[in-house]
Amino acid sequence: MKYSNFFLPTLKDAPSEAEIVSHKLMIRSGMIKQSSAGIYSWLPLGLMVLKNIEKIVREEQNKVGAIELLMPTIQSSDLWVKSGRYDDYGKEMLRITDRSGREMLYGPTNEELITDIFQSHVNSHKDLPKNLYHIQWKFRDEVRPRFGVMRGREFLMKDNYSFDINEEEAKKSYDKMFKAYIKTFIRMGLTPISLRAETGPIGGSLSHEFQILAKTGESTLFYDKKLETLNPENIDPNELQSYYAAVDDQHNENNCPIPKENLKISKGIEVGHIFYFGTKYSEKLKAYVQDKNGNNIPVHMGSYGIGVSRLVGAIIEAYHDDKGIKWPTSVAPFKVAIINLMPDDQDCATKSLEYYNYFMKNKTDVILDDRVCSIGKKLSDNELIGIPFQIIIGKRDLKEGLIEFRNRQKNINKKIKVDEVINFTNKNLEL
Burial code of 181-193, b = ≥16 C-beta within 10 A, e = fewer?
bbbbbbbbbbbbb
Q: Which of 67, 81, 373, 375 binds its own copies (CB under 8 A)?
A: 67
- For the bound state, the minimum distance from the C-beta of residue 42 to its own copies, rounded and expressed in Å, comes to 4
- For the bound state, the minimum distance from the C-beta of residue 248 to its own copies, rounded and expressed in Å, comes to 30
Angle between helix 44-63 and helix 308-318 axes, rounded to 10 deg: 110
Q: Which of 24, 85, 153, 406 binds its own copies (CB under 8 A)?
A: 153
How many Å apart are CA 69 and CA 431, to the nearest integer? 34
Q: How many CB atoms lie within 10 A of CB 375?
A: 12
How many Å apart are CA 183 and CA 190, to the nearest integer? 10
- For the bound state, the minimum distance from the C-beta of residue 74 to its own copies, rounded and expressed in Å, comes to 6
Nearer to its own copies, 37 or 375 (CB): 37
| Residues counted in the chain | 431
Nearer to its own copies, 130 or 251 (CB): 130
- Residue 64 interacting with its own copies (CB under 8 A): no
Per-residue three-class SS string for 32-46: EEEEECCEEEECHHH
- For the bound state, the minimum distance from the C-beta of residue 159 to its own copies, rounded and expressed in Å, comes to 13
Q: Are 328 and 315 in contact (CB under 8 A)?
A: yes
- Residue 7 interacting with its own copies (CB under 8 A): yes
Q: Hey, which residues does 194 pair with through a beta bridge?
A: 210
- For the bound state, the minimum distance from the C-beta of residue 400 to its own copies, rounded and expressed in Å, comes to 33
Nearer to its own copies, 90 or 259 (CB): 90
Alpha helices in 319-388 (DSSP H): 346-361, 375-385
- For the bound state, the minimum distance from the C-beta of residue 109 to its own copies, rounded and expressed in Å, comes to 15
What would the x/- binding string for its own copies be over residues 123 to 142, using CB under 8 A? -------x-x----x-x-x-
Amino acid at 281: Y
What would the x/- binding string for its own copies be over residues 18 to 57, using CB under 8 A? ------------x--x-xxx-xxxxxx-xx--x-------
- Residue 76 interacting with its own copies (CB under 8 A): yes
How many Å apart are CA 212 and CA 192, to the nearest integer? 4
- For the bound state, the minimum distance from the C-beta of residue 98 to its own copies, rounded and expressed in Å, comes to 6
Label residue 419 exposed, middle or buried (CB < 10 Å: 0-12, 13-18, 19+): exposed
- Residue 75 interacting with its own copies (CB under 8 A): yes
How many Å apart are CA 161 and CA 303, to the nearest integer? 4
- Residue 338 interacting with its own copies (CB under 8 A): no
Q: Which of 19, 120, 216, 357 binds its own copies (CB under 8 A)?
A: 120
Of the listed pieces 68-76, 215-223, 237-245, 300-308, which binds its own copies according to CB under 8 A?
A: 68-76
- For the bound state, the minimum distance from the C-beta of residue 68 to its own copies, rounded and expressed in Å, comes to 6
How many Å apart are CA 67 and CA 304, to the nearest integer? 13
Q: Are 327 and 383 in contact (CB under 8 A)?
A: no
With CB under 8 A as the rule, give the number of residues binding its own copies.
52
Residues 6+ apart with CB under 8 A from 308: 50, 53, 54, 57, 135, 155, 156, 157, 158
Nearer to its own copies, 217 or 313 (CB): 313
- Residue 413 interacting with its own copies (CB under 8 A): no
Nearer to its own copies, 251 or 371 (CB): 371
Q: Which of 53, 56, 113, 247 binds its own copies (CB under 8 A)?
A: 113
Q: Hey, which residues does 11 pair with through a beta bridge?
A: none
How many Å apart are CA 118 and CA 414, to the nearest integer? 57
Q: How many CB atoms lie within 10 A of CB 359?
A: 22
Q: Which of 15, 17, 59, 91 binds its own copies (CB under 8 A)?
A: 91
Q: Give the residues lining the site for its own copies (CB under 8 A).
A: 5-7, 9, 30, 33, 35-37, 39-44, 46-47, 50, 65, 67-76, 91-92, 94, 96, 98-99, 102, 104, 106, 113, 116-117, 120-122, 130, 132, 137, 139, 141, 143, 153-154
